[in-house]
Each structure stands twice: as structure tokens, then as C-alpha cells.
Chains A and B, each alone.
Chain A
Amino acid sequence: MNTVLILALVVAALTAASFVFARRKARAQIASIGKGAGLGFHSQPGYHGWFSGIISGLGAFLVMIAGLLTGLGLPITLMAMLVVAVIGSFLASGRIQKDFRARTYVEYFIKTLLVVCSLIAVFTTIGIVLSLLFESLRFFEEVPFLDFITGTQWSPQTAMREDQVGQSGAFGAVPVFTGTFLIMAIAIAVSAPIGLMIAIYLSEYAGHRTRKIVKPVIEILAGVPTVVYGFFALLTVGPAIRALAETMGYSVPTQSAITAGLVMGIMIIPFVSSLSDDVINAVPQTMRDGSYALGATKSETMTKVVFAGALPGIIGALLLAVSRAIGETMIVVLAAGRAANLTGNPFEAVTTVTVQIVALLTGDQEFDSAKTLAAFALGLMLFIITLVLNFIALIIVRRYRARYD
């Protein structure tokens, strides 16, 4: 690693040296022609310098990559880089003259660099899809796809020994998905009304001062890392719910769907409220004024006019919240448990897709066992579900925005 760092610094140094050398040369050339000669030049000396610097730097960089890949020693690579950079600098500065369009080339290079930056986001998506797809396909060679999506048994521990009983490894993902959706439903049931009401109150009722106090508080809620929520659920909310249930004569485990769902709901409140806030504010004031003119109260205007007008946007916001809840990991890892119960009862421990991915991929792993590959299959499902949700939500929100623009 240190070699890479040294080599990268050398590339930077060579680039800088080449830049300074060419710029000085360009300046000298202009000065030798006479005062005001610079105006006749297409490019300013700095651009000639950059041109030379880029040529040398790129050359040295390519040599560095080649050296690292072929395993050449550090001294040889350094020598080669130096030679290439010097040759590049001489070639580039040899072209310094009145008509040479150094600026055009430099700008072309910058634009290319910007395009590459934009493409990295695309490559990330492609990387995600490919890595999930390949491993998932290997998984589905061992476990048929239909068994995976319809099976109701999830116990991914494959047998360590031939004769082990009950350790055959079952990969029916139904309990995992029901658990995920159960917790998501609880989280949305908590966050949707609360988040919406906060948005409505802040945009329609609250005075300037209230808003100034409440908004940062909600933002703090959004800035708390999810692992902190998980710890809170495990340490405080879970036992509190258990104690509450015990006073009513029920027994609820500390790790349960309701605990994870409640805390996740709290986590999503700011998300829902800020998205709904945008949506509600996008409804034109004229619609409100029209409603008030007819004698409607604020709440009637809100529920019957603004809310109706904002409904598509709010649905879009809720879909994003759903996708967020499905993909949330740390809260469920700490508060929901790992037992794959197929149940709709929120007072039982359930497991989720993300919990299973964490359980299967942390710790020691062999890369060809169905157990590890199952995590990639789950990841693929998770990715597809959230992608579809986000996509629909984005389309809805975009259409909705266009409506009032």
C-alpha cells in the first residue's frame, strides 16, 4: 500500500514539475518576442503548462499502473515513470507556439474527466447488479428459484457432517419476507400519521418561532445513526414493551417485531415529515385561498383540498419510506432477532432480509456454500424490491411536481 502512495505522490510531483517547466518556457517565448506578444497567442502560458503537466502525469500514471500490474520493482518503475514524464514534457513543451491550442486540449481533458466522474455512479449500479446476479445464479443452481420464493422453512445452516440430523439447510424465504413486511408495516403505521401531522402542523399552523424550534429537533432525529436506534430498541424499548405486556398478563420476548417496528417508525418520522413538507408546500396558495373563501376551516382545507391535491406526492413519499424501512439493517439486527418465524403476530420475534444477510455474511465464510450464496440471493431480492419502489415513487413525485409547476 505504501508503494502505491509513494508512486501516486511521484506522479503528482512529476505533473507539477512538468507544468512549471512548460509554463516557464511559454512565458520565456512570449517575452523573447516582445511586449504584448502574449495577446497573439491562442493559449495563455498556464494552459501550455497544464497541457505539458497532463501529458507527463498521464504517462507516468500509466507506467505506474503497468508497473504495479506486472510486479516490476519499485526502482525500475520509478525510473520508467521519470523517463516517460520527461519525454512527455519535452514533447509537449516543444509544441509551444502562437497557434498551438493548448487550452482547447486541456479543456477537452477536463470535460472527459467530468464525464468519467458521472459514469462512476453508473458503474456502481452495474457493479451492484452484476455482483448480486452472479452469486445469486450460483445459488439458484443449488436451490431452485421456486423453492426459494415459496418455501416456508428458513434454516440456512448447512450440514457440517453427513450424519447430522435436522441440519439439512432449508432455504424457503417466505418467513424472512413476511417478517420484513410485518416490521415495515408497523414502522409505516407509526411514522406515516405522525410524520404527516408534523408536516401539516408545521406548514399550516405553527408560527415562525415554533417552526424554528421544532424543525431542528426533527432534524436531530434524522441525524442519529441507525445503530444508536438499534441500541435504544434493545436496551430500553424492548424491555419496556415486555414489562408493559407483563402487567397485562402477556409474555412478549424482548426482541420482537413490535419493538423493531416502533423504533424504526420513530427513525422514519423525519424522513416522512420532510418529504411531505415539500409536497404540501408545492400545493399552490391559491387553492387554499379558494377553500378559505368558501368558508372552510383550516382543517377542512387541509384534509379536503390540500391533502387531496398533494395525495400523489404523499403516496410517493410513503413509498420511499417503505423502501427505506425494508432496507434498514441495524435496528432489526439488534431488536428483531434471528429466528425465522412465519407469523403475523407483531409480539413475536421475526427475522428480516437484512438481518439474514448480516447473519450469513459476517464471520467466517466459504464462498461456495449455499449458505453464503443465499445472502446474495436475498440481497438481489432486496435490491429489486427497493429499486421498483424507488422507481415508482420517483415517477409519481416527478409527475406530481409537474402538475403544479
Chain B
Amino acid sequence: MPTSDSIHASEFALKRLKKRHAKERRFKAFGLLAIGIAVMALFWLLSTVLGNGLNAFIQHDMTMDVELTESVLDPSGVRDPDELRKSNYRRIIQNSLYERFPDVTDRKAKRQLFDVISSSGAPNLIRQMVYNNPDLVGQTLTIRVPTSDDVDQLLKGNISRDVSEDRRKISDQQITWVDALVETGEIKSRFNTGFFTNTDSRDAELAGIGGSFIGSLMTLLVTACLAIPIGIGAAIWLDEFAPKNRFVDFIEININNLAAVPSIIFGVLGLAIFINFIGMPRSAPIVGGLVLGLRALPTVIIATRATLMAVPQSIRDGALSIGASHIQAVFHHKVPQAGPGILTGSIIAMAQALGETAPLLMIGMVNFNTEIPNGITDSATVLPVQIFMWAGNAERAWVEKTSAGIIVLLLVLLLINGFAIWLRNRLEKRW
């Protein structure tokens, strides 16, 4: 206790000081709390996604022998591929299953047995094989087909065996079959390669991100071709060549505003101009790429300008002083110095475009595609939109797929951004 009786050490003053210090601590605690909330939110989000999605990378397959009976598939015996397409492959699969479980005779039980495996995946698999090689008819094949999503969920422990039969999506009888098949090793869990190669499907066990991933790549390619050169060009002009007048001021304000316009508005623009006015195809990566390109344009311009401005004036002046023209000074000296920064900015802008969803809903990229797009004018969808479409399904298997799609998207974004940061640290110059 200070014994001085000055006003700063009076009992009242000390009390006040204590109060002020307490306030200081509170304030600091609020700051920590705020950071804590943000970190917790991120942790919560990531754990939701990881917790739900990691399982989707593993899937249960069933190995089965199927006899491609000629009398069922090709009664005429001509082996015409187009005729073979229409044959009854369901029957083939069913026969194989009934043979495996000969004691199943009841019709309802037979249907349930068939539901253990992916009911459209298995016939389609054999159809494709026979179409590619008609000589297979008459032989016996060993194939691996995905189990149905319910069986998959059961084996992953997401469907409880303890609840009564009428309250779960899988019957007691089916559980006994599945257990028997697991016992003999006919049903096994494997890495789910189908998730990366398949397109969208009505059946959760067959749905994959292959199609939408390719769609994303194509869209991004168009976006990059549009936004990066034009954005860099605009930034160079504004930074070096633009006169100082009202019109240029307007362009600058316009670019800043454009960067803050809601992305959905760009989608409406794409719908009205590119699709309805110019008549480009709906749902195509070309339109999506153009829309995202316009969306990314202000970002690229702003990032490029920031890097150009950071290059010291003396570099340009040095070039000018030894007789280079203005264009030469800028393109041979200033822009190369800003190169790494421009590259980083462009890559980050592309990463943003990759995660964009809303504008693509407007131009019809939210559609059901069962084929991988072959070109930028084909109907396609992109990864975030695919995630959006799956997110509407509340069923466990779809939640898993959606989360797995998100994991892939986040990983790709992390890779791209990480690469950009690595590039910046490695190449960037400090003046």
C-alpha cells in the first residue's frame, strides 16, 4: 500500500485504477473471445464436413459371378451390339443372386435380395461390358458391383441394427444376407474410386463428382482465358497510360463497384445477355466461364494494380532515360518485375471463381447430368453446384456424398491458394 497521500494514491484513486485495469482485462478477454468464436466456428464447420464426408471415400462392393446366359441376352444369337443394349441385364443379375441364395423363393424376398446391390448400377455395368465386347455372351464373369446405399450405410454403422424393422430402411432378412456375404468375403469395403470417376446419379451409391469436376475445369479454363489477360491489360492501362480525367475516374469507381456487386447479379446478366440475347447454349461451361470471368475481372484488375503500384517508379524511369519508349519501359521492365504478384493475384481470383455457385444457378448449370461433358458447349455442371444439388437430400448416404464433395472442393481450393502463397513467398521482391 503506498503511503503517499497524493491524489493519485488516495483510496478513491486506487479503487478507480483497479476498476480501470479490470476493464482493460475485460476488453482483452473480449478480443480473445472473438478470436475463439471465429476459430471454433471454423473448427465446427470443418469437423461437420470431415465427420460426415470421410466415410464416403470408402464403399462396400460385392463380388459376384454372373452367367451371361445367351437365351436371356441374345436369343437370336446375332450378337448385334445395338440389340444387346436393350437386353434384360436385370434378369442376369437376379438369376445370379437367386443362385447364390437358392432358398429364396418368395417374390417379396426376391425383390429384397435384389435391393442388396445397386439395382441400376449392376445391370448397367454388365450392359456396358457386353456392348464393348459382345463375345462375352455365354461366358461367366466375375464382377464387382457396389452394394445399395442402404447396405453401405448399414455396414458403416449409420443404420442401427437395434431399432425395430419397420423403422429402418433395411429389413432383418436383408441384414442376414448381408452378414452372410460379409462373412464369406463377398462384400468388402474398398476405396471408392467411383466417387471420382462417376457422374451424377439418382442412386447415391453410384453418384460421383467426375462429371462436375471436369465441368469445373472447363468453366475455369474459359474464366481464366477471359479474366486474366483482360484484367492485366486494364490494370496496366489504368496504372500507366490512362490520362487523368473524369472518364478515367469513372472507370476506376466502376471497377471498384463491380467488385462489390452481388455475384448472383452476374448470373442474371449471363442469362439475359449471353443466353437470351446472343443465344448461347444453356448450362454450358462457355457461358458459365464467361459469367465467372466477368465476375473475376475486377478482382484481377485490383490485384494487378496493387502489384504494379508497388514496383518503384525508378525502374520505369531508368528504362525511359536510356531511350526506351513508354510501352517498352512498361512491358519490358515494369510488368516483368510485377509478374509474380500478378500471377498470385490471378490464381487467387481463379480460386474464388472455382467456389462460386450462385451465378451458375441462373444460367442453368443446376441440372442433372449423367454424362461427362465433351466440350465447353455441352451441358455440364460444376463442383459447387453439384454440392448444392446434393445438399437438398436429407438421406444419410447423400449427406455423406455432399460432405465428400465439399472435402474435395476445399482440398482443391487449399492446394490452389497454398500454391499461390508459396509462389509469392518464393518469387516476390521487396522493394
Which residues of chain A have a CB within 8 Å of any CB of chain B?
Answer: 1-2, 103, 107, 110-111, 113-122, 124-125, 127-128, 131-132, 134-135, 193-198, 200-202, 205, 214, 217-218, 220-221, 223-232, 234-236, 266, 269-270, 273, 297-300, 302-303, 320, 323-324, 326-330, 333-334, 354, 357-358, 361-362, 367, 375-376, 379, 382-383, 386-387, 390-391, 394
Inter-chain CA distance A1–B237, complex, in Å, is: 32
Q: Which 10 A-B pairs have the closest CB atoms?
A: A327-B262, A201-B31, A225-B355, A117-B233, A131-B272, A197-B34, A299-B27, A114-B237, A329-B358, A118-B234
- Neighbour of A205 across the interface among B28, B327, B331, CB < 8 A: B28
Inter-chain CA distance A323–B21, complex, in Å, is: 38
B258: which A residues are within 8 A, CB to CB?
121, 124-125
Is the C-beta of B24 less than 8 angstroms from some C-beta in chain A?
A: yes
- Neighbour of A107 across the interface among B39, B41, B272, B325, CB < 8 A: B325
B66: which A residues are within 8 A, CB to CB?
none
- Neighbour of B327 across the interface among A110, A198, A383, CB < 8 A: A110
List B residues 335-376 near A (Cβ within 8 Å): 351, 354-358, 361-362, 364, 366, 375-376
A194: which B residues are within 8 A, CB to CB?
34, 37-38
Given contacts A118-B242, A128-B261, contact A220 B268 (CB under 8 A): no
Most buried by B among A121, A202, A357, A391: A121
Most buried by A among B301, B388, B399, B417: B388
A386: which B residues are within 8 A, CB to CB?
260-262
- Closest Cβ of chain B: how far from A303's Cβ, in Å? 8
B269 pairs with A124, CB closer than 8 A: yes
Interface residue total, chain B, C-beta cutoff 8 A: 92
List B residues 275-290 near A (Cβ within 8 Å): 276-277, 286
Report the number of A-B residue pairs with Cβ-Cβ less than 8 Å. Answer: 256
B251: which A residues are within 8 A, CB to CB?
118-119, 121-122
Is the C-beta of B163 less than 8 angstroms from some C-beta in chain A?
A: no
Is the C-beta of B35 less than 8 angstroms from some C-beta in chain A?
A: yes
B27 pairs with A358, CB closer than 8 A: no
Is the C-beta of B122 less than 8 angstroms from some C-beta in chain A?
A: no
Inter-chain CA distance A354–B255, complex, in Å, is: 23
A362 pairs with B32, CB closer than 8 A: no
B237 pairs with A235, CB closer than 8 A: no
A326: which B residues are within 8 A, CB to CB?
262
- Closest Cβ of chain B: how far from A327's Cβ, in Å? 2
- Closest Cβ of chain B: how far from A199's Cβ, in Å? 9
Digitize B373-400: 1 where CB-to-A-CB distance is under 8 Å, 0 elsewhere: 0011100000011011001000000010
Inter-chain CA distance A255–B20, complex, in Å, is: 44
Inter-chain CA distance A46–B262, complex, in Å, is: 45
In the complex formed, the residue of A with least CB distance to B39 is A217
B34: which A residues are within 8 A, CB to CB?
193-198, 201
B27 pairs with A269, CB closer than 8 A: no
Given contacts A103-B325, A232-B45, contact A324 B233 (CB under 8 A): no
A128: which B residues are within 8 A, CB to CB?
261, 265-266, 268-269
Is the C-beta of B219 less than 8 angstroms from some C-beta in chain A?
A: no
A127: which B residues are within 8 A, CB to CB?
269, 273
A111: which B residues are within 8 A, CB to CB?
237, 241, 327
- Closest Cβ of chain A: how far from B30's Cβ, in Å? 5
- Neighbour of A235 across the interface among B52, B327, B355, B364, CB < 8 A: B52
- Closest Cβ of chain A: how far from B427's Cβ, in Å? 20
A227 pairs with B391, CB closer than 8 A: yes
Is the C-beta of B297 less than 8 angstroms from some C-beta in chain A?
A: yes
Is the C-beta of B199 less than 8 angstroms from some C-beta in chain A?
A: no
Given contacts A128-B265, A198-B35, A225-B409, contact A118 B237 (CB under 8 A): yes
Inter-chain CA distance A118–B233, complex, in Å, is: 7
In the complex formed, the residue of B with least CB distance to A204 is B31
Inter-chain CA distance A323–B24, complex, in Å, is: 33
B241: which A residues are within 8 A, CB to CB?
111, 114-115
Inter-chain CA distance A115–B247, complex, in Å, is: 12
Digitize B411-430: 1 where CB-to-A-CB distance is under 8 Å, 0 elsewhere: 00100010000000000000
Interface SS, B side: helix
Inter-chain CA distance A86–B38, complex, in Å, is: 64
A231: which B residues are within 8 A, CB to CB?
49, 387, 391, 402-403, 406
Is the C-beta of B9 less than 8 angstroms from some C-beta in chain A?
A: no
Taking A269-B41, A330-B388 as known contacts, 10 extra A-B pairs with beta carbons closer than 8 A to each other, sorted by chain A number, are A114-B241, A118-B234, A118-B242, A131-B273, A227-B391, A230-B391, A235-B391, A300-B20, A324-B260, A386-B261
- Neighbour of B24 across the interface among A115, A117, A193, A297, CB < 8 A: A297
A220: which B residues are within 8 A, CB to CB?
42
B20 pairs with A358, CB closer than 8 A: no
Inter-chain CA distance A330–B263, complex, in Å, is: 10
Most buried by A among B38, B263, B267, B366: B38
A132: which B residues are within 8 A, CB to CB?
265, 268, 272
- Closest Cβ of chain A: how far from B308's Cβ, in Å? 13
Inter-chain CA distance A172–B357, complex, in Å, is: 28
Is the C-beta of B154 less than 8 angstroms from some C-beta in chain A?
A: no
Given contacts A197-B33, A231-B402, contact A121 B301 (CB under 8 A): yes
Is the C-beta of B23 less than 8 angstroms from some C-beta in chain A?
A: yes
A327 pairs with B263, CB closer than 8 A: yes
A334: which B residues are within 8 A, CB to CB?
388, 391
Given contacts A299-B27, A327-B262, A376-B268, contact A228 B409 (CB under 8 A): yes
A121: which B residues are within 8 A, CB to CB?
234, 251, 254-255, 258, 297-298, 301
Q: Can you offer 19 A-B residue contacts whose CB atoms are under 8 A?
A: A111-B241, A114-B234, A118-B237, A118-B238, A121-B234, A121-B258, A198-B38, A201-B34, A214-B39, A221-B41, A227-B391, A228-B355, A228-B410, A266-B41, A266-B45, A273-B38, A298-B24, A300-B23, A382-B264
- Neighbour of A201 across the interface among B28, B265, B276, B409, CB < 8 A: B28
Is the C-beta of B44 less than 8 angstroms from some C-beta in chain A?
A: yes
- Closest Cβ of chain B: how far from A40's Cβ, in Å? 15
Is the C-beta of B236 less than 8 angstroms from some C-beta in chain A?
A: yes
Is the C-beta of B78 less than 8 angstroms from some C-beta in chain A?
A: no
A383: which B residues are within 8 A, CB to CB?
261-262, 265
A327 pairs with B264, CB closer than 8 A: yes
Is the C-beta of B139 less than 8 angstroms from some C-beta in chain A?
A: no
